[in-house]
Amino acid sequence: MPVAENALRLILIGPPGSGKGTQALQLCGRYNIGHVSTGDILRRNTQKGTSLGKHAEEFLQAGDLVPDPLIFDMLEDLYNRAGGEQQGFVLDGFPRSESQARALSDFLEGRSQSIHKVLLLQLDDDVIVGRLIHRRTCPKCGRSYHLQASPPQQAGVCDSDGSTLVWRPDDHEEVIRNRLDTYHQQTQPVAAYYAQKGVLSSIDASSPISTITERITRLVDPLVSSV
């Protein structure tokens, strides 16, 4: 059954370095839905001093798994952010385990709702490592460069403000491989859960950003009814 485009409920899953954040923003713009990322939710709750915010640090140290009692706080929060009952959203960074996926299903079923599509961006680990180890970041303005694809005009120096670029610890191979291992361990059961529900689609994310966006919209457009 087709849905109104601004009621679309999507989940975007992808490894670090797959361009997931960029695609999430594309989806929000195209379908007029809210972008909900766990990082944003945690930051906002930390600023507001909520119980979820107070647990944020604990949550981050626990390797990105939200303690179960906080899952529903988080769902309420993201729902409010997404504009309440009428509006759709794209989730980015959640759910990260099968139990979180089940909690999300229960939460939505309580509102006679469900997830319409789960998009899994797939990219070879070696390709991701190749992208991230060549990334250099400006500590002042946050701009990032790729040593081969988009190098700074002068080696090691930010084009915008002349600061010395840094190779962040996060972008070293061993750390990237560890993050990818964690990602695969967490993602496989979540992907299997949604595959069983018949809403999972895998997308080859090795192409340019615009090609990936085209692939995604080709999958999502048919779900939408023109109002």
Which residues are designated catalytic?
20, 96, 135, 168, 179
Q: Is 190 in the site for Zn ion (CB under 5 A)?
A: no
Give, as ranges, the residues between 83 and 102 that touch Zn ion (CB under 5 A): none
DSSP-assigned letters across all residues of 70-138: GHHHHHHHHHHHTTSTT--EEEES---SHHHHHHHHHHHHTTT----EEEEEE--HHHHHHHHHTEEE-
What is d(CA 16, CA 170) in angstroms, rounded to the nearest whole number? 11
Q: Which is nearer to Zn ion, 44 or 143 (CB)?
A: 143
Among 150, 160, 185, 211, binds Zn ion (CB under 5 A): 160
Are 225 and 3 in contact, with CB atoms under 8 Å apart?
A: yes
Q: Which is nearer to Zn ion, 48 or 140 (CB)?
A: 140
Among 58, 124, 161, 170, binds Zn ion (CB under 5 A): 161
- Considering only the stretches 115-123, 131-139, 178-186, 193-201, report the one whose residues sit in contact with Zn ion under the rule CB under 5 A: 131-139
- Considering only the stretches 55-63, 133-141, 176-184, 195-203, report the one whose residues sit in contact with Zn ion under the rule CB under 5 A: 133-141
Binding residues (CB under 5 A) for Zn ion: these are: 138, 140-141, 143, 158, 160-161, 163
